[in-house]
Amino acid sequence: MSRRGWAIGSVAAAVVVLAFVGWRMASQRGAPAPSAAAAPAAASAPLALDLAPTDLAVARHTELATLLAVSGGLRAVDTAVVRAKVAAEVRQLPVREGDAVQRGQVVAVLDDTEYQWRLRQAEDQAAAAKAQLEIAERTLANNKALVDQGFISQTALETSQSSAAGARASLAAARAAAEIARKGVNDAVLRAPLPGLVSQRFVQPGERVSVDARLLEVVDLSRIELEAALAPEDVAGVRVGQVATLDVDGFAQPVRARVVRINPSTQAGTRSVMTYLAVDAQPGLRQGLFARGSIALERRPALVVPASAVRLDQARPYVLVAAGGKVVQRTVTTGLKGDAVLDGAPEPAVEITAGLDDGQTVLRGSVGALRDGTAIRLPRAK
């Protein structure tokens, strides 16, 4: 083939290719656009809010406990301060803080030298008074015989009788003085008035103390109470025997207590009423620890929901109910507030007296603010 014939063939092939490309572009321009109805239906559907199990609670009939918050310090029922009964120097103080003592155990000894000498002096005076009484009684007996014989007058006999009576009174006074001196000697030895632990030691051996000076404090930890100050309007519902649950500083588990006494008078200034709760014995309880908790004033069955489920941002209280895959707002009437066991654990709860049925699922406050009709998706049961 000549060069001219090859060039004409190439041009013809190019024309054919360009014609095919043009036809394809024209066919694509004329194709109809996809219809909007052909888009996925899910694109126009509203998004549902996924809820966690902790966002939901079930309204149910259970026991509701009406509680009254209390707080205060723990105090041992039986405490005693050992005080000096005489003025003297501290000779011995064998116990220290934390030592256990028994009732009657010697806990302090004071120097009794002065009181020993006073006792000896009083005993000697009593012995002298006894001798004077013996002389007076012999004289009286002799004078009685002389009066009978007519040797002395009746007046002399009466004088002897008076002397004997005076000697008898002097002996009694001397003996009383000796007993007082003996008590001073005994008071130099101080004993524990009750069993317990030494909580404070106020003096050291060698110090001179005055009468009624504090030496030691002994605390009996077998019985401990909580002293709680209550407002006058709160104490009206408190009764002896009501049970309380306390959280004590340093204790991981709650401690039970019971109301045992209510002070009949108010405190000056604050007008509060002191209430005393006996705390169950627990190892490690100490006087002065701080405790807070609540007294169960009343227990009764009621339809309850968690306190966080009741919303108060509108004119009337309401709850959000999960029904039919969406949020439904329900206006409710509330009653008592307290604690109830929901989802296996006690928590603050509110009684619902109207507007809600037993078994309905409500949204807790952790979900936040949701509009009525919001689509929700409940967690799948495992």
Torsion over CA: 53, 58, 63, 66 (sign): positive
Cα 178 from Cα 152, distance rounded (Å): 38
* Residue 3 pLDDT level (bands cut at 50, 70, 90): very low
59-72: pLDDT as tens digits: 999 988 888 889 99
Q: What is the identity of the amino acid at 123?
A: E
Q: What is the pLDDT of residue 345?
A: 79
Least confident range from 27-41, 129-143, 357-371: namely 27-41
Q: Evaluate if residue 227 carries a pLDDT over 50.
A: yes
111-139: pLDDT as tens digits: 999 999 999 999 999 999 999 988 888 88
Mean pLDDT of 128-152: 82
What stretches of the chain show up as alpha helix (H) in DSSP?
A: 3-29, 113-149, 154-187, 232-235
Q: What is the pLDDT of residue 53?
A: 87
Q: Evaluate if residue 79 carries a pLDDT over 90.
A: yes
266-278: pLDDT as tens digits: 988 888 999 999 9
State the DSSP string of 220-278: EEEEEEEEEEE-HHHHTT--TT-EEEEEETT-SS-EEEEEEEEEEEEPTTT--EEEEEE
Q: Is the pTM higher than 0.85?
A: no
Tell me the Ramachandran region of residue 353: left when phi exceeds 0, alpha when psi lies from -120 to 50, beta otherwise.
Answer: alpha
Mean pLDDT of 255-262: 94
* Residue 233 pLDDT level (bands cut at 50, 70, 90): confident
Tokens encoding 107: 């806990």
175-225: pLDDT as tens digits: 999 999 999 999 999 999 999 999 999 999 999 999 999 999 999 999 999
Helix (H, G, I), strand (E, B) or coil at 163: helix
Angle between helices 113-149 and 154-187 (to 10 degrees): 160
Q: What domains are there in the chain, each with its CATH number?
A: 53-66+300-377 (2.40.420.20), 70-77+221-298 (2.40.30.170), 112-187 (1.10.287)
Share of the chain above pLDDT 70, in %: 87
| Residue, of 184 and 142, whose pLDDT is higher | 184
